[in-house]
A and B are shown apart, each in its own frame.
Chain A
Amino acid sequence: MVTRFPPRSSRPRGRLRILLASGAAALALAAGSVVPGNPLASAPQEAQAADGKSTLTVAVAQSVDSLSPFLAQRLLSTSIHRLMYDYLTNYDAKDSHTVPGLATEWETSADKLTWTYTIRSDSKWSDGEKATAEDAAWTFNTMMTDEGAATSNGSFVSNFKKVTAPSPDKLVIELKRPQATMTALDVPIVPKHVWEKVGDFSKFNNDTKFPIVGNGPFILTDYKVDSYVKLKANKDFWRGAPKFDELVFRYYKDQDAAVAALRKGEVSFVAGSPSLTPAQAASLKTADNIKVNDAPGRRFYALAANPGAQTKDGKKFGDGHPALLDQKVRRALFMAVDRTTIIDKVFQGYAVEGEGYIPPRYGSYFWKPAAGQKLAHDPAKAAALLDEAGYRKNSAGKRTGKDGRPLDFRILCHATDPNDKAIGKYLQEWWGDLGIGLEVDCRDNVSDPWYAGEYDLAFDGWSVNPDPDFVMSIHTCAALPAKPKETAQTDNFICDKQYDELYAKQLAEYDPAKRADLVKQMESRLYDTGYMNVMAYPNAVEAYRTDHIESITTMPSDAGNIYGQDGYWSWWSAVPAAGASGGSSGDSGSSTGVLIGAGVAVVVLAGGGLLFAMRRRSTAEDRE
């Protein structure tokens, strides 16, 4: 019943058709590769924008969560707010000591509880109004009274008793207890006359009217969700106008895409999240017109051990391994970690070996253990320590305690962090040699098991600010949760009386040198107790195009990072390279687009014409 139609009689016609088709395809390929290829492949986009504006485009891997400084949590958002709004004080680019910002000077009362700031008179909001102490007072008071407004920075004002502005240039803050971090208030000051109209702070994202009124070095002019943020230079900025006319943060979800965009000149700067991978850095170092900034970082990367989760009242919960309560075991574990290999193999040289808690770039607070105190890499000694502690190897080579329970630990790892996964592999093998089992538990959400105390070990790390108060406070007993499994300030449930005493002292110590000494003593104590062992300080690895950016200030200015600074130095000081507009202005993109569009149209028309011709011929020959 299946009737087979006679096969096409003309074989030659079929072959001819194939020939023609392949010819058309070849033409299309040639058109596609030759015509638009040249403008793009040879030189990166350097065309001057039509109006001669210089633009600095930064590729970022985060998208903005909120443009409201009261709600934003992400690093990108807070970085942008640093550019839009001035803070009371700033940190010097050279060594991070406090320098004037919106406030020119400040003094404390004798009882250490009243701080008086003098607000400068030459700071103007972008709508022409003068910035005064009234704005600062209003900002702080709003955070103190409105719950929604306290979302991002409420912790800064928790110790404030009263904030007033007795005159336009005087801001007075009364505290409940002495607080040494008053010269490190990272709170954007917003214009009262604009923000007092806001109804619900928890819902207002500051994205209704552009340009956004601010008094920082840049003014936010345009914003497209998950795409870009555009800022223009504030010519009236009191410290001096930025050299670049325009600053654009463009969102690239994929790190590789951002690096490729840098190569092609679509962007001027790539920050990496948190830094470029060693492979990317290595390949960018060999590229023309690209400089890789490999600088000391702000982060520490540590191995945390569970000291037994407990609440403020001392109620224990969670299921941390009891063996970790033995200091010898903790020391043995850390001594078996070959940090040199980690720096060489995992970070491939883009990190520095860990010592004390605070990274070395904060010179005044950095602490190193003395030779006798240091836990150097020594697997033999580690094995001996474990034997001493009563964990001997059984016949199968696994260490067991007196109760016969083998030493098996779990380590919490962030599923999105390749370093965690990589180091986890090494730890499994090193500790496996010691006879200890390790289960690497990688999760998207580590917070839950962490706060529930259901972990033995974990990869931990924080970015440290010039004022280290926050990262020190998370290890105090006051940071413990009120109820079991609740979120809390605490990072690793550490609660040590000696540490807490030192913490209270340093918070009330206004003399910088004395305070630094107290902090170092705290770091020493932390090192000795051994619940937080720093393995490395990862470098900040970034890259930018030298044909877009002539010079740019890092922080610290000798060697430091550019993106995510504690200040606006990088973008504010960046000087455009001669004859470059930097980044894509859309013009080159469109000219290529025209060419490609034309190419496609030609191909389609040619193909259509061919097909039509074929059809006519086939029906003619097929006519019966």
Chain B
Amino acid sequence: MTTTTDAAPAIGPRALTWARRRHAAARFWRQYRGHRAGLAGLAVLTLIALTALAAPLLVGADSLSVTAAPGGPLEEPSAAFPLGTDQFGRSLLALLVWGTRVSLTVGLLAAFLSVAIGTLVGITAGHFKGWYGNVVMRITDWFLVMPTLVLAIALATVLSRSLWTTVLAIGVTTWPTTARLVRAQTLSVESRPYIERSKALGGGHRHIMSRHVLPNVMPLVLAQTTLVISTAILTEATLAFLGLGDPTVVSWGGLLQDAREAGAVSSGNWWYLAPPGLAIAVVALAFTLCGRTIETVLNPKLGGSR
């Protein structure tokens, strides 16, 4: 029996859906609020995001200039330069703030790419079971056994050095975990009765996957995204440190590599080495905490106070 929704009744189905979603979001937020770790992570992330966005206002683009560098090379922290200077005389605090943009952007883009591929593969593999599903899962399994760092290094070497290469290398090597999870979740969702009903009502593949499976899978995907961002930021730093990142942009991993090349380790210039790594750790940790909290809220069976 189909119902037509032309002359809208008092509250249309669309409005109902949105209201339901608003309630769900509010409930989610209430539960999330109860976890201190998650709140801490969220606070840190907001702060970092604001810093990244406000970087041009905070420190100005000319703090990146080498010809107009204000200080001497590798100066110790002082009132003028709270984190000292790099080998060109630029303020390290300014570089750290600027690096936020690149590190966050690459982390976010790479994570989105990874999760997008994983979700697409996972949903289609779970939906079209047959030979397609098998082949896809074989490929996913094969990717899972690839050591991700080795593969990322190999890819970054093969392609030219740019931010997009880093994004691609990370995205292409980390999607399998998401794919597996999404596939398992898809199978679970599709075994529910209302899917059967939807099929009986004539719902095609696209309809079922986008209207039914995807919204149910989204919470899991969301949790997974935040965790993958954490991994992506660490991998970006690793690739930059190994010299495979874009040397013309300022990123935290790049700062660590510059420090090493300038001989900071043996000269004891700890102010060049400690802050970028600390920043990476803090952001990665914040995303991890948020991710774990989202997981707990969405899946209370994951047990205990996490």
Contact = CB atoms under 8 A, between A and B. Distances in A.
Contacts of B157: 444
B243 A415 contact: yes
Interface stretch (B137-145, B255-263, B277-285): B255-263
Contacts of A421: 247
B193 interface: no
Contact of A259 (B67, B89, B247, B266): B266
Interface in B245-271: 247-248, 258, 260-269
A327 B157 CA distance: 36
Interface stretch (A272-280, A359-367, A518-526, A606-614): A272-280
Nearest to A348: B73
B89 A345 contact: yes
Interface in B151-183: 157, 160-161
A120 B220 CA distance: 82
A258 B266 CA distance: 8
B88 interface: yes
Interface string A127-147: 000000000000000000000
Contacts of B268: 283
Contact of B263 (A276, A426, A430, A443): A276
B304 to A, nearest CB: 8
B183 to A, nearest CB: 29
A55 interface: no
Interface string B210-252: 0000000000000000000000000000000001000110000
Contacts of A617: none
A444 B267 CA distance: 27
The contact size tier of chain B is 20 to 34
B266 A283 contact: yes
A279 B74 contact: yes
Contacts of A426: 66-67
A332 interface: no
B67 A341 contact: yes
A259 B67 CA distance: 30
Contact of B87 (A256, A278, A283): A278
A181 B260 CA distance: 41
Contacts of A255: 263, 266
B161 A279 contact: no
A443 B161 CA distance: 7
A41 to B, nearest CB: 15
B299 interface: no
A425 B249 CA distance: 10
B165 to A, nearest CB: 12
A263 B67 contact: no
A194 to B, nearest CB: 41
Interface residues of A, number: 34
A257 B266 CA distance: 7
A416 interface: yes
Contact of A279 (B67, B89, B243, B262): B262
Contacts of B261: 277, 418
A274 to B, nearest CB: 13
Name, among B67, B89, B263, B264, the residue most crowded by chain A CB atoms within 10 Å (CB to CB): B263
Interface in A415-439: 415-416, 418, 421-422, 424-426, 429-430
Given A348-B73, A415-B243, A440-B247, A282 B66 contact: no
A442 interface: yes
A260 interface: yes
A433 to B, nearest CB: 9
B264 A279 contact: yes
Contacts of B258: 418
A385 B73 CA distance: 34
A280 B81 CA distance: 21
A429 B267 contact: no
Nearest to B66: A425
Name, among B74, B243, B266, the residue most crowded by chain A CB atoms within 10 Å (CB to CB): B266
A5 to B, nearest CB: 13
A277 B263 contact: yes
Contacts of A280: 263, 266-267
Name, among B88, B160, B265, the residue most crowded by chain A CB atoms within 10 Å (CB to CB): B265
Nearest to A429: B67
A166 B7 CA distance: 114
B266 A260 contact: yes
A259 B260 CA distance: 12
A254 B266 CA distance: 10
Interface string B64-78: 011101000110000
A259 B160 CA distance: 32
B267 A282 contact: yes
A319 to B, nearest CB: 16
Contacts of A418: 258, 261-262
A467 to B, nearest CB: 33
A259 to B, nearest CB: 4
Contacts of B263: 255-256, 259, 276-280, 283
Contacts of A440: 247-248
Contact of A416 (B243, B264, B266): B243
B95 to A, nearest CB: 12
A258 B267 CA distance: 12
B73 A279 contact: yes
Contact of B65 (A254, A260, A282, A429): A429
A283 B67 contact: no
Nearest to B64: A425
A232 to B, nearest CB: 30
B266 A256 contact: yes
Please give me the 6 A-B residue pairs with the lowest Cβ-Cβ distance, nearest first: A259-B266, A256-B265, A277-B263, A280-B263, A283-B267, A256-B266
16 contacts: A256-B264, A257-B265, A260-B265, A278-B73, A279-B73, A279-B264, A280-B263, A280-B266, A283-B266, A418-B261, A425-B88, A429-B67, A440-B248, A441-B160, A443-B161, A444-B157
Interface of A: 254-260, 263, 276-280, 282-283, 341, 345, 348, 413, 415-416, 418, 421-422, 424-426, 429-430, 440-444
Given A283-B266, A341-B67, A440-B247, 10 more contacts: A254-B265, A256-B264, A259-B266, A279-B263, A279-B267, A345-B66, A418-B262, A422-B87, A424-B248, A429-B65
